[in-house]
Amino acid sequence: MTRQTAGPIPERRRLELALQAAGLGEFEWDMDRDLFVVSDRMAAITGLPPGEIPARGGEALDRYVHPEDLEIYRAARGDSLAAGDTYDVEFRQLRADDGRIVWMRSSGLMVPGPDGKPSCATGFVQDITARKLEEAQRHTLMAELDHRVKNVLAAVQALAVQTAKRTTSLESFLQNFGGRLKAMASANELLTAARWRGAAVDHLVAAELGALAPGQTVWNGPELFLTPRAANALSLALHELATNAVKFGALSMETGQVAVRWSRLANGGFELHWTESGGPTVAPPERRGFGSTLLDQVTGRELNGETLVEYRPAGVHARLSAGHAAVAPRPETVPKAPVARVVETVATSTGPTNLKGWRVLIVEDAVLLALELETGLSDAGATIVGPAYELEEAMALLDRPIDAAVLDANLNGRSVLPVAEALAARQIPFVFATGYGENGGAPGGFDAPVIRKPYDVTQVAAAVAELLRARAA
């Protein structure tokens, strides 16, 4: 048998298939007979009956247009009639069959008769409800993002002012402010990963204590998620407690321990205990700094509860209680706890970093950050290669002598991984300095330190120096 092959699709059938695939319904307005011809596809889209219906001068369908959009619809039709041209209008329609409000796009072309005046119009309609809903959601999200950004900026400004009022030197201000900013960034990173539905208490604790004094900190408690407001408050409180423990408390000695435990309360809230032991004998501070004020006055109010800090001789003990309003439902997306090698933004205790004689490539698309890195690494003695702000710029610099590199993970929407791969092939060490949260380690799976933005440039310099020492060993 000879297999028969299908012939070419007839033009009319091809047009019908194209309209169906595009989700379009065609119509015709016969002005000479004053009739609308509604196709089956248009009937399915609009809920109108198929076939011929009286046009009444084009106004027969006006009653199905949402009253708030009727003027726009009529204006588009009238302008098209007057000019004998095309029209394209979007409006809300009240479906003729069930009354539902849907968004419709109608496009048409006026066809002139023998006298040059429009005698008929033909075109199509399309249901664009899904697109309009997506646009509305995008607008809502942008407004929410704008609101959150302004709140964050206001909080950062308040932190800067309050920190500055209680510090006596620029170095002290930068250290304290940088640490608090890092605590806020950690909480926001966790909230972003969970689509701002909530942050887990154990992740907040791990973000603050995970890379601090390994072996000297333990924490446990039930799975518990906090609202964005409560998560930021708890993150800042944990940072203040950790900073004090490192400077004056249990973590200032190798024998010291910090235990953090939390539990649910019957009222729907929770209670967290911070207990230090094995450190130096503790006495109440002689001067109250902003950290103490934050714990005493801000944390409890933000958690809808209270905070009590006791300076016991055996070690500091803090109890943070929160009301039910601070607890959030378990989000659909729960991020994993960070496991990357993170360089914390705390001041180094080993003195100034010396990078004299080393050539360091800077790849960073934010000009201000690149300038800050260039200044900080130059002050440490490094010879700067770059900075490179774009991927192509960075790739073009790779043929120069380079000893180490600092890489932003994202360059104006493009991955820096091609640069990292080229450096790794040449066995040149590098540090990722990024604002992106990576729960699975460094970007691209590289065995490289990850410094989270916002960072302290002195820590970037220290991380680069450590890589160079390891390379030389």
**What structural domains and CATH numbers belong to the chain?**
11-127 (3.30.450.20), 134-328 (3.30.565.10), 359-472 (3.40.50.2300)
More confident residue, 217 or 445: 217
Model confidence band, residue 24 (pLDDT cutoffs 50, 70, 90) = confident
pLDDT at 400: 92
Tell me which residue has tokens 């091609």.
Answer: 418
CA distance 43 to 50: 5
Lowest mean pLDDT among 66-80, 276-290, 332-346, 453-467: 332-346
What burial letters (b/e) apply to 84-106, b meaning 16+ CB within 10 Å? Answer: eeebebbbbbbbeeeeeebbbbb
Highest mean pLDDT range out of 143-147, 235-239, 263-267? 263-267
The H or E element spanning position 150 is: helix 129-165
Tell me which residue has tokens 């203040």.
Answer: 240
Long-range Cβ contacts of 151-158 (<8 Å, 24+ apart): 152/184, 152/188, 155/184, 155/232, 156/181, 156/184
Residues 6+ apart with CB under 8 A from 8: none
More confident residue, 435 or 406: 406
Q: Of the candidates 367, 369, 360, 413, which has an alpha carbon nearest to the alpha carbon of residue 391?
A: 413
CA distance 91 to 102: 9
pLDDT in tens, 99-141: 889 999 988 888 887 877 778 888 888 999 988 888 887 777 6
More confident residue, 159 or 26: 26
CA distance 433 to 376: 14
Could you tell me the two tokens for 279? 């450190």
Mean pLDDT (the chain) is 80
Could you tell me the two tokens for 143? 């407004």
